[in-house]
Amino acid sequence: MVGWAVGRLALVTGAGSGIGRAACQVLSREGATVIAADRNYDAALETIKTHTALASGSNDVGEHCAIELDVADSKSVQNLVQTLSKQYRVPPRIIVNSAGITRDNWMLKLSEEDYESVLNVNLKGTFLIMQTFAKAMAEAKVSGSIVNISSIVGKYGNIGQTNYSASKAGVVAMTQTAAKELGKFNIRVNVVLPGFIDTPMVKTVPDKVKESLLKMVPLGRLGTPNEVAELIMFLASDKSSFINGASIDVTGGY
């Protein structure tokens, strides 16, 4: 295996589905050892068994591993960092924060519970992973790249997504601040803002709403998880070595 990421550990959250799964696929293609973390362990295992470069077509997952993780639970995140430190000795130098949820409703009907759960996973979860693993990288004196996943609705808002759009706007602001603080440790932090991407998350959007959204996409289609993963891969690699604190749209022009 020859690739820029050979010998690098990559932690991907939300790795059991959609964009996180595609990120595992692309990063492993570049030679990274992938830690696929998801609250759904079976889905994360499926990712490394059938979607990573080394593993495709066999049951051999090489050094890749699947781990159960709830990004919104600090104990779960602490268990993860300790487990990885025992297993690999060095911290992951690539972090992809892809775990995310929606609990859509009109603002006037949105429950406090649905507001909190979305903020807890999308915003607090991204914070806990960034803080924990940036600390581990700084202590180990290794450089790194953190790629957060926001959403285009964090910029423009979207009907039915008060909670989600607020969480994703928060991820952009948090990324810019983290980039300013972590630069001195040679850790870059960037954020990707996908538009409408064909994953299980978008399957919950009613067809009528999807049709009207697609009319606003100049390319006239949904994006694929792989189209987002290729940007994640670029931001994770040294090819983007002077890109830090950037927010990049992947929307087909939406």
Minimum CB separation from ligand NAP for residue 130, in Å? 14
Extract the runs of DSSP E, i.e. beta strands, from the chain. Answer: 9-13, 33-38, 65-68, 94-97, 144-149, 187-194, 247-250
> Does the protein bind ligand NAP through residue 98 (CB under 6 A)?
yes
Site for ligand NAP in 183-242 (CB under 6 A): 194, 196-197, 199-202
Q: Check: CB of residue 163 under 8 Å from CB of residue 207.
A: no
Choose the binding region for ligand NAP from 2-10, 12-20, 137-145, 240-248 (rule: CB under 6 A). Answer: 12-20
- Does residue 160 interact with ligand NAP by CB under 6 A? no
The per-residue b/e assignment along 203-242, b for 16 or more CB within 10 angstroms, e otherwise, is: eebeeeeeeebeeebeeeebbebbbbbebbbbbbbeebee
- Is the Cβ of residue 141 or residue 203 nearer to ligand NAP in the bound state? 203
23-42: contacts with ligand NAP (CB under 6 A): 38-40
Q: Are 1 and 54 in contact (CB under 8 A)?
A: yes
Q: Is 88 a catalytic residue?
A: no
Alpha-carbon distance of 253 to 217, in angstroms, equals 6
**Contact mark string toward ligand NAP, 116..135, x via CB under 6 A:** -----x---x----------
72 near ligand NAP, rule: CB under 6 A: yes
**In the bound complex, what is the minimum distance in angstroms from residue 222's beta carbon to ligand NAP?**
7
CB of 19 to ligand NAP, least distance (A): 4
Q: HEC profile for 8-67?
A: CEEEEECCCCHHHHHHHHHHHHCCCEEEEEECCHHHHHHHHHHCCCCCCCCCCCCCCEEE
- Min dist. Cβ of residue 136 to ligand NAP (A): 18
Contacting positions for ligand NAP (CB under 6 A): 13-14, 16-20, 38-40, 43, 69-72, 98-101, 121, 125, 149, 151, 194, 196-197, 199-202
- Catalytic site residues? 164
